């Protein structure tokens, strides 16, 4: 799930071209990550959407797949930064009736100043 960064046009690419670059980049990183994970026979899905409420779209996709668990990467925003920018993980936790496991790199965090600068 993604929105194009506001300065994407500076690359000289169209919305569709830049969207494809972002999807390809995300898929490459997903495949690199997942190849070393022992899934114990569990099914894993990769999908992208653009221009939707991310947590709502993810909740719909999870419901269609009859999932038992959602694992999602978290950015590590402070609670104030999450108020400013919103939080996909928090939205999923509120919407879903199944467990949500949020995984975050310890070195990642986003405070209020960084959140404002990201807008």
- pLDDT the model gives residue 103: 78
In-domain check, residue 46: no
Beta bridge partners of 28: none
Same domain, yes or no: 81 and 111: yes
- Residue 87, pLDDT above cutoff 80: no
| Range from 20-24, 35-39, 49-53, 75-79 carrying the lowest mean pLDDT | 75-79
- pLDDT the model gives residue 80: 54
Same domain, yes or no: 56 and 111: yes
Domain count across the chain: 2
Q: What is the 3-state secondary structure (H, E, C) of the chain?
A: CECCCCCHHHHCCCHHHHHHHHHHHHHHHHHHHHCCCCCCCCCCCCCCCECCCHHHHHHHHHHHHCCCCEEEECCCECHHHHHHHCCHHHHHHHHCCCCEEEECCCCCCECHHHHHHHC
Same domain, yes or no: 36 and 56: no
In-domain check, residue 47: no
Same domain, yes or no: 60 and 118: yes
Same domain, yes or no: 72 and 117: yes
The whole-number average pLDDT for the span 8-24 is 84
Residue 108: CA count within 13 A, CB half-sphere:
9
- pLDDT the model gives residue 107: 63
Same domain, yes or no: 36 and 64: no
pTM value is 0.57
Q: How would residue 90 be classed by pLDDT, with cut points 50, 70 and 90?
A: confident
Query: Residue 17 is part of which domain span?
Result: 1-41
């Amino acid at each position: 799930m993604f929105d194009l960064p506001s300065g994407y046009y500076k690359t000289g690419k169209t919305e569709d071209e830049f969207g494809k670059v972002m999807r390809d980049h995300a898929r490459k990183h997903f495949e690199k990550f997942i190849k070393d994970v022992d899934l114990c026979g569990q099914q894993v899905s990769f999908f992208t959407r653009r221009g939707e409420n991310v947590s709502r779209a993810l909740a719909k996709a999870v419901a269609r797949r009859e999932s038992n668990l959602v694992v999602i990467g978290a950015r590590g925003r402070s609670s104030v930064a999450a108020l400013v920018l919103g939080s996909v993980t928090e939205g999923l936790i509120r919407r879903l009736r199944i467990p949500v496991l949020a995984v975050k790199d310890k070195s990642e965090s986003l405070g209020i100043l960084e959140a404002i600068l990201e807008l």
